[in-house]
Amino acid sequence: MNKISIISGATSGLGLEISDLLVRSGKNVLILGRNIEKMEAAMTRLKKASRNCHPESLICNIGREEDIRKVGDFLKDNSYTVEYLFNNAGMGLFMKADKSTSASIDRIFEANLKGMILLTSEILGLTPENEELSIVNIMSTSALLGRAEETIYCAAKWGARGYTEALRTEFKGSKRNIIAVYPGGMKTDFWNIPGQNRDISTFMDPAEVAEKIVNAVIVTEKLFVTDITINRKK
């Protein structure tokens, strides 16, 4: 079976930068995203950067089981086995704690936690036990500490962190490598939230963050990292 790496939330920002580095290193990638126009632009970039590999794409809302099944069908139909899964998709929300609604909770938990669980479950079920699989859960430093006006977002990210730790315990001693990544603020579309005017001029370059992650996860052959925290210099 052919090896492939999956990156969710890969049409822009950190996910696209990770995908670019992977294809430049000769790895097949499958990028997932929800926006058709962004997907087309991302694929144009990846095809130009690819070296003896085949970038693929699927329009996918990872919070929907029917979309996740399409990912599984794609892998089976093309005889792909997943080498690296980068759970990168996410969505921010910044509001006062007394303004929470059921809709806002569902939206943020779907993007940051439910989708991670559904996609990971699908890939685990399709990957033979004798095949090496690295699951890279890219969260946020908001999974490490609570922040004002980020109560729902922090709750989702702390849930993702708990899920990651539980995965690590469940698959200890197996060929499943569970890697947690906690990046700080980056200059990405993540901050393009209506009504929010946040100064991100000092935030990190997603290309530089992607390089740190890929180098730590991919380059090492006999060792693997477990936790990566990436912050900008003060």
> For residue 203, what is the domain's CATH number?
3.40.50.720
Which residues make beta-bridge pairs with 23?
none
State the pLDDT at residue 218.
87
Could you tell me the two tokens for 224? 């693997």
d(CA 167, CA 97): 30
Give the pLDDT score at 194: 60
Q: Is the dihedral of CA 100, 105, 111, 116 positive or negative?
A: positive
What gap in Å lies between CA 156 and CA 63, rounded to an integer? 13
pLDDT value for 197: 65
Q: Check: CB of residue 89 under 8 Å from CB of residue 60.
A: no
Which residue ranges of the chain lie beneath pLDDT 50?
Answer: none
Q: How far, in Å, CA of 63 to CA of 81, rounded?
A: 22
For every residue of 142-189, which 3-state class applies, written as one string?
A: HHCCCCCCCHHHHHHHHHHHHHHHHHHHHCCCCCEEEEEEEECCECCH
Give me the number of domains the chain comprises: 1
Beta strands in the chain (DSSP E): 2-7, 29-33, 55-59, 80-87, 133-138, 176-183, 227-230
Report yes or no on whether pTM surpasses 0.85: yes
Q: Max Cα separation, the chain?
A: 53
Instruction: Identify the domain containing residue 115 by its residue range.
Output: 2-230
**Closest residue by Cα to residue 225 from 182, 167, 178:** 178
| pLDDT attached to residue 51 | 80
pLDDT digits (tens, 9 = 90+) for 78-130: 999 999 999 999 988 888 999 999 999 999 999 999 999 999 999 999 999 99
Distance CA(67)–CA(26), nearest Å, equals 27
CA distance 146 to 184: 13
Closest CA to 79 of 23, 26, 3: 3
- In contact, 6 and 82? CB cutoff 8 Å: yes
Q: Look at residue 5 in the predicted model and tell me its pLDDT.
A: 98
